[in-house]
Amino acid sequence: MTKRIATLLVPLLAACSGQLSMSGLLGGKSSSPGSSASSGSPEASSSSSSSKDSGGESFSFSDQPGMKGELLEIPKFFQGSHMQWALSRGAWKAIWLADLLGDQLGETARMTLVHWCLQGKNDLAWAACTGDAHRLDRKRLIAELDAPEARKYRTAVLAEYDALVKAVAARDAEVAKRVKDDPALAQVFEVVPKATWKEWDQFSATDAPLLAIARKLEIASQKRGPMDDRGPSRKAYAGCIEQIGPAFTKVVNAAKISKETSLVDAFGIATTPRGYIATLANYYCARGQDLGIAAALGVELTKGSMLRGPRMATIEALLAKSKTLRFDDKAYSLENFVWRDANYINEDEQLYGETGGDHGVIKTVERKGDMLHITFAKAMIEYPVCDRSEPTNSWHYDASSGNIEQVYQCVKWGAKSEMEDIDPVDVPASQSAGVQAGRFLEYHTANNKAHAVRAVWDSSKQKNLIALYGVARRS
């Protein structure tokens, strides 16, 4: 069990105005087009080609043509305007968008991200983008330019593509020289990015349906697009619980869980690509259907690494190793490249973890329609607490504090006793797994009114976890 900073609210995706900048993830100022570059922070500068003399339209990375419609339904060429829009609001948002789109990412959007990553000398940004830089595909781009609305940009876009490939080659040569001079940099630019992308390639091949569901639900949680003011569609969430259920059940049962160090800790079910994406999909499904369990699931997503895709995972993996890498330049630190407003990712929704709630020994359980009415025994109970933790060799970037912190592990467990006198609660009957008299129930409360089952233990001593987030655990 790792030691985390306990906060009542850890926002990751912040609802914000169109003026909000998120580029602090790489070092400070806004990455809005036209802003001045800060130290270590690449900026989305303007680069354009014109082919009007050949009858075509000009194209600029900083001012791209858009098309009204839902993100996955418009021709892929026009995803570039979405990426430009994301970059104008910050690096973290753009990298998250690329990870969200996954195998549906269009070449123009990929080019836009790579072009941005090349503008500065931010090593963390280039490490995150290097997979895209080496997957630029001219044939795919030509196919996307065959869309009737995109054909007029063909000459200009292909010119930008060719220039971008040359720029990537130049950056590769520069990186190779730096790695030769300082071998530890190979971890930053080669070893960690390649290993992370390989892991996600394998996950994408085996779990494409899960990724597609998560993508659909996350996009559904937003406005329809930067050119569309309509809010989220309720129809998009129909049947999502049944769709996600099998994958999330596997994740819950695969997790190795002993005791909790406190009621604000995550259970650690979102620490792998499959675990994170299944939990993320369940989170958005719960939010879309207004289920109280959403914010409790958000604890899993906000207390650990943000593994939305290979780019985010590369950043997290590098930050986790940053304290153990010995660079030749003693002043060099990956922390200097971290975007400090990394919490902000999304315009329209919040990915957040809220730890309000309580716990107690169940006295009675009564079914009332779609709800369970639960009363608790008034009694002195004993539950485990960690008496002593020791630091491990692992490190973690804490998005809530903006610091890279050492991971702690409990090495000595103790017990605490307290008198419990908990008011009755009503929880959805769909979360009834393991709920019965005599067991120890931990429940979550969202917005001071909606209750949801978080965990069911055999007793307050937490020796056997019976169910988690409404899913029965295999004995």
Give residue-wise pLDDT tens across range 31-43. Answer: 333 333 333 444 3
Last residue of a domain, one of 276, 307, 337: 337
Within a domain: 351: no
Residue 365: strand pairing partners? 374
Q: Which helix (H) or strand (E) holds 376?
A: strand 371-376
Q: List pLDDT tens digits, range 308-348.
A: 999 999 998 998 888 889 999 999 988 888 875 444 444 44
The residues facing 414 across adjacent strands are: 385
Same domain membership, residue 253 and residue 361 = no
Residue 350 domain-assigned? no
- 78 with 163, same domain? yes
Give kind and range of the element (H or E) at residue 39.
Answer: none
130 and 23 inside one domain: yes
83 touches 101 (CB < 8 A) = no
- Is 168 within the bounds of a domain? yes
Do residues 111 and 257 share a domain? yes
In a shared domain, residues 216 and 327: yes
Cα 364 from Cα 237, distance rounded (Å): 33
CB atoms within 10 A of CB 170: 11
- The closest alpha carbon to 104, from 218, 14, 189, 193, belongs to 218
- Residue 428: inside a domain, yes or no? yes
Torsion of CA 402, 404, 410, 411, to 10 degrees: -160
Instruction: Kindly state whether residues 326 and 450 are assigned to the same domain.
Output: no
Which token pair is 346?
């999304």
Predicted pLDDT of residue 128: 95
The domain boundary residue, chosen from 274, 309, 337: 337
Q: What is the pTM of this model?
A: 0.82
- Give pLDDT, residue 6: 28
**Best CA proximity match to 155, nearest among 142, 164, 136, 168:** 142
Is position 149 within any domain?
yes
When computed from its CA atoms, the radius of gyration of the chain, rounded to whole angstroms, is 24
Same domain, 380 and 327: no
Domain span at 429: 357-472
Same domain (yes/no): 394, 329: no
pLDDT < 50 regions, the chain: 1-55, 341-349
Could you tell me if 264 and 370 lie in one domain?
A: no
Q: Taking a C-beta distance cutoff of 8 angstroms, is the pair 462, 259 a contact?
A: yes
Query: Residue 425 class from Cβ within 10 Å (0-12 exposed, 13-18 middle, 19+ buried)?
Result: buried
pLDDT at position 259, please?
Answer: 62
- The tokens describing 308, both together, are 């939305």
- Residue 73: inside a domain: yes
Measured CA to CA, the distance from residue 268 to residue 468 in angstroms comes to 12
Cβ pair 383, 461 in contact under 8 A: yes
Whether residues 95 and 153 fall in one domain: yes
CB atoms within 10 A of CB 130: 25
**Domain count across the chain:** 2
Whether residue 420 is found in the same domain as residue 290 = no
The answer to whether residue 407 is domain-embedded is yes
d(CA 246, CA 254) in angstroms, rounded, equals 12
Question: Do 289 and 369 have their domain in common?
Answer: no
pLDDT of residue 56: 75
Residue 345: inside a domain, yes or no?
no
